[in-house]
Amino acid sequence: MSFKDSSFHGLNEECGVIGVINVPNANYYLYLGLHALQHRGQEASGMVTIDNNMVNIVKRKGSIVNSFSKEDMESLKGNIGLGHVRYSTFGGKSTINIQPFVFTLHHTQYVTCHNGNIVNASTLKKKLEKRGSIFFSFSDSELLGHLINTSKKLTTIDKIDESLKELVGAFSFIVIENNKIYGCRDKWGLRPLVLGKLKDGYILASETVALDAVGANFIRDVEPGEIIEISNDGNISSKYYTPPKQCKNNMCAMEYIYFARPDTILEGKNVHEKRVQTGRELAKEHPLNADIVIGVPDSSLSAALGYSQYSKIPYDIGLVKNKYIGRSFIAPSQEERERIVMMKLNPNKHVLENKRVILVDDSIVRGTTMKSIVKLIHDAGAKEIHIRIASPEIKWPCFYGVDTSRRAELALYAQSKDEYLRNLKYATSLEFISLNGLQKSLDRWTKNGNLCTACFSGKYPSKLHDCENEVNNENK
């Protein structure tokens, strides 16, 4: 979230975080973990390590592989550290916004990184500035450091506990202080955070794929509302900043649908298997006769496979992805998104020509990608193009860390499904999975929570605070 714009039309982030402790050559583990999390953001990367109280920092624009040099890696000495990958919207590309952030508070150094979005950020910033805080970035991720600084509690875990009570929204924070590492998750459980064991140390990360990349054993998810403290000697303790009975397990639906890597385990569920099940449910709800089923690489392939399995219509590779182009939804500006779509996909004409095609995609957000893809398939000679979407219609903005904070930007907000279909020009039909079908596919009917489906339903798990005007103004 950007502090520059009180209407929150600026910086929103979907990021990846990682932290390791008591690991020789922590930089190596951070690098491998961030590479595994690169799908969560390609615009910038940062790493911080600590060696004998010396803080080493490297922050670079671009992907981890392309931006970190051998010299950068050699400078990151120590056995404890944090890493972060991010993307931003307009106005947020400055290097001052690249995490992790380092704070020196009362002669104590804190390092923090964050995935999510704080919906009462502007209010808290004004409050903290009145107390004397000086902000050096435009990111809401900086808030926790200043809240810790103003806390009167004696221990770090109690300072963090008191600080998190001030925050409303989605967050998974990792904090380092005095050879200890802390993992914190919001009480709604909107963003993921997992704990793993290395030979003599521990790792915290956004997804289990980061654990796999460094050879760590998965221990468990950090629970909603929980703060985990890990010391250098391996002692682990935890507390909740909100009583556990008041915490909810409202994981963001888009983590399952789009953001997480298919081989990630979210809350004990394999993402690929759940996407396959979503495709099967989509075929059950919206059947039709066709020649082939294809998916939009990469996040839609599992759902396309599921659609094929249930419908008995052959699955094929109709679109080939240029793997050296980033994800269009995560590209910072609309112009860049449109340019990337045309560069990153090539139609397989041999597969598509004279075929009735079922095109499965994970979601329609701004509609930029779909319009371009439909034209590519049409120009390759497809007879019919039937679009099937493995998520409900996205009609509401997200304020919890997904780059859709303006409702007017959403393709299906200002126009009906039929109007959107007509604007696609070459598409034959368009259908979406129902909300009930999505929840059924993901096994997300529980006593203590459900999926966060605010972008589909407009029902937000928390109060929106500083973001309320965006919803209210769009409804007028």
Instruction: Enumerate the active-site residues.
Output: 15
Q: Are 114 and 51 in contact (CB under 8 A)?
A: no
Q: Are 389 and 432 in contact (CB under 8 A)?
A: yes
Distances (CA, A) of 383 to 17, 209, 283, 311: 45, 40, 20, 19
- Could you say which DSSP state residue 225 is in? T
- Residue 267: strand, helix, or coil: coil
The candidate with the shortest Cα–Cα distance to 318, out of 367, 273, 377, 374, is 377
Q: Are 279 and 305 in contact (CB under 8 A)?
A: yes
Pair of tokens at residue 473: 């103004």
Provide the residue type at 150 as one letter.
T
Provide the residue type at 342 as one letter.
M
d(C-alpha 252, C-alpha 401), whole Å: 10
The candidate with the shortest Cα–Cα distance to 255, out of 198, 189, 353, 162, is 189
Residue 437: CA count within 13 A, CB half-sphere: 21
d(C-alpha 390, C-alpha 279), whole Å: 6
The candidate with the shortest Cα–Cα distance to 313, out of 297, 281, 294, 290, is 290
10-47: b (≥16 Cβ within 10 Å) or e? bbbbbbbbbbbbbbebbbebbbbbbbbbbbbbbbbbbb
Q: Are 344 and 328 in contact (CB under 8 A)?
A: yes
Bond before 262 cis per omega within 30 degrees:
no
Provide the residue type at 128 as one letter.
L
